[in-house]
Amino acid sequence: MDSETNTQDCLGWAATDPSGVLSPYKFSRRPLGSDDVSIKITHCGICYADVIWSRNIYGDSKYPLVPGHEIAGIVKEVGSNVGRFKVGDHAGVGTYVNSCRDCEHCNDRVEVNCEKGKVITFNGIDLDGTVTKGGYSSFIVVHQRYCFKIPNNYPLASAAPLLCAGITVYTPMMRHNMNQPGKSLGVIGLGGLGHMAVKFGKAFGLNVTVLSTSISKKEEALKLLGADRFVVSSDQDQMKGLSNSLDFIVDTASGDHPFDPYMSLLKTAGVYALVGFPSEVKFSPANLSRGMKTLAGSVTGGTKMIQEMIDFCAAQKVYPQIEVVPIQYANEALERLVKRDVKYRFVIDIENTLK
């Protein structure tokens, strides 16, 4: 080992039971290994995953639980084998911190699909048997492979949501060639993921239509986010006017919703990418087969694509819409997230408020 930082207290906020209520908590990080990077966390985005595991919704939460997997900060120490990072660099950590590094998917740098299972950033079991703890904390120690360079001219607060919300929509858009200028994109849902799909669509030169159940989001979709069109999906006349007009759809909605009305909007050979998690997906097979349409699923992305996305956002000046909050507001922020009362991503100011 290169360091004995495991004796150093790490300050975080943790849930201690299924109520999910977070409170201050001290713990130790592992020692810095030769391939590790120690990052002083300055910002951490708030994702719905933080709600899921802090409240034991899946029944597998390991308490005390420190959430947070949209992590941005400054490198404070590097192991002896680390060449990509130096002290003072801006760096990020996303939804996983380890994988087998030996399977087909790891070799292709799509570690998110590791055959032996990726190690998630919090509430996961790392290779040494310890439970991972996330970004609602003062620092984190991660193998260099799962750390990402953030250009110095890109704000760290804005970088944090890219590590989950951003990459979750960027990955299927790139995989299915949704970066062809002049093509048409529909975005279902306008939350943390949906607003990033709109921003990427515009950066790629697409004609972007937002599909939402709420007319209240129209002005922001068009004026703030730059969408070309806004359609209320419950309005049958508006939907009929879009029939067979979209090359791609990115569906970010996790609530249950019908799929056939949206499938009918795709052109021949159109692609429908699902990144939300409704409880079921039901549609008529004819709506898929006729027109040679494709229904695809996706979650986050591999390390190569994550770095590519960060660099793209810096070059194209693509920034998430964020609301920066102190760590003391985390419980209220999580409640507001459940109520969908956020535009469009909460980011915790760890550096200035975690004391």
Residue 76: its pLDDT value, please? Answer: 98
> Which residue numbers in the chain have pLDDT < 70?
1-7
CB count in 10 Å sphere of residue 218? 17
pLDDT for the residue numbered 208: 98
**Cβ-contact 72, 348 below 8 angstroms:** no
CB neighbour list of residue 32: distance below 8 Å, 6 or more residues apart = 1, 2, 3, 5, 38, 77, 78, 79, 141
- Choose among 185, 170, 167, 251: nearest CA to 212: 251
Q: Which residues are CB-neighbours of 49 under 8 A, at least 6 positions away?
A: 67, 69, 95, 164
**Tokens representing 310?**
């960060």
The pLDDT assigned to 42 comes to: 98
The whole-number pLDDT of residue 214 equals 85
Label residues 110-130 b or e (16+ Cβ within 10 Å = b).
Answer: bbbbbeeebbbbbbbeeeeee
- Tokens linked to 109: 């740098």
H or E segment to which residue 185 belongs? strand 184-188
pLDDT at residue 4, rounded to an integer: 46
Closest CA to 203 of 220, 216, 191, 185: 185
Name the amino acid, one letter, at 44: C
Q: What is the pLDDT of residue 255?
A: 87
Strands 96-98 and 184-188: unpaired
Give the per-residue pLDDT at 128.
85
* 293/266 Cα distance (integer angstroms): 8
pLDDT for position 14: 98
C-alpha 322/C-alpha 41 separation (Å) is 17
- In Å, how far from its chain's centre is CA 292? 30
| Cis before 64 (ω within 30) | yes
Whole-structure pTM value? 0.94
pLDDT at 254: 86
